[in-house]
Amino acid sequence: MPDYVIAPRPQPALPVQGSNALFPVGRIFCVGRNYAEHAIEMGSDPTREPPFYFAKPADAVLTGGADMPYPAATKELHHEMELVVAIGAGGVDIAQGDALQHVWGYCAGLDMTRRDLQNAAKKTGRPWDMGKGFDHSAPMGALVPAGTFDPTKGKIQLNVNGQLRQVSDLSKMIWSVAEVIANLSSLVRLQPGDLIMTGTPENVAAVGKGDLLEGFVEGVGEVRTRIA
Ligand code: MN
């Protein structure tokens, strides 16, 4: 054990479905505009431009159905329901055909967004970090081992207060999970523990204190949080 000058922080981790074991989280990469209908609602052209990425800190993960405190400095907290990919085996320049063998598992997640701050950053050409990478901005459900799950299809849905808010299918991703892993690993060396949030379908919208968010990805599981 090194002699740290301050106490090291606890390791952020995700629960694993049906197990007491934990998945240690390294980095959280997020794909921007990966469903055409969401790209259109954000005022972008959904033609197949190369994928682009932003990141959240590892300790943004919020697990176990815990409440999400309404964040500071925003009047427009948006939900983005997403499939999350957990990398179990790292690599660089991973071939698309090998990409899914690098996946340890999947979970349902929410890329919570301070949309007003993100929009202000877009206008001024500044980074998105404070719109995307704030505390507790990544509620996630339990991880399910990859097994035979096929991430090229399956319903993805978010209910707010029991009302349907977002619904789509993983088949509508512009860049598939395998393509994202191949592309991202050409930019950075993926490491075991990295998470990839694969983008949201359309109908993102604001939530407020007291709202209950319940998301679901077919074949993967659920994510749940209440805004407190
Ligand atoms: Mn997103």
What ranges do the domains of the chain cover? 13-226
Bridge pairing between strands 28-31 and 195-197:
parallel
Q: How far is the CA of 196 from the centre of ligand 1 (A)?
A: 10
CATH number among 3.90.470.20, 3.90.850.10, 1.20.1420.30, 3.40.50.740, domain 13-226? 3.90.850.10
Mark the residues whose beta carbon lies below 5 A from ion ligand 1.
Answer: 80, 111, 200
Q: How far is the CA of 114 from the centre of ligand 1 (A)?
A: 11
215's tokens: 């998301």
Q: Is the pLDDT of residue 215 over 90?
A: yes
Q: Is the pLDDT of residue 44 over 90?
A: no
Over residues 168-186, the pLDDT tens digits come to 999 999 999 999 999 999 9
Task: Tell me the CA–centroid distance for residue 72 and ligand 1, in Å.
Answer: 19
Per-residue CA distances from 73 to 77, 78, 113, 118 (Å): 10, 13, 12, 12
Cβ contact 102:181 at 8 Å: yes
Distance 148 CA to ligand 1 centre (A): 25
Residue 111 to residue 133: CA distance in whole angstroms: 9
Examine the pLDDT at 49 and tell me if it is beyond 90. no
pLDDT over 80 (residue 48): no
100 contact partners, CB below 8 Å, separation of at least 6: 146, 151, 177, 178, 181
The pLDDT of 196-221, averaged and rounded, is 98
What is the identity of the amino acid at 125? Answer: G
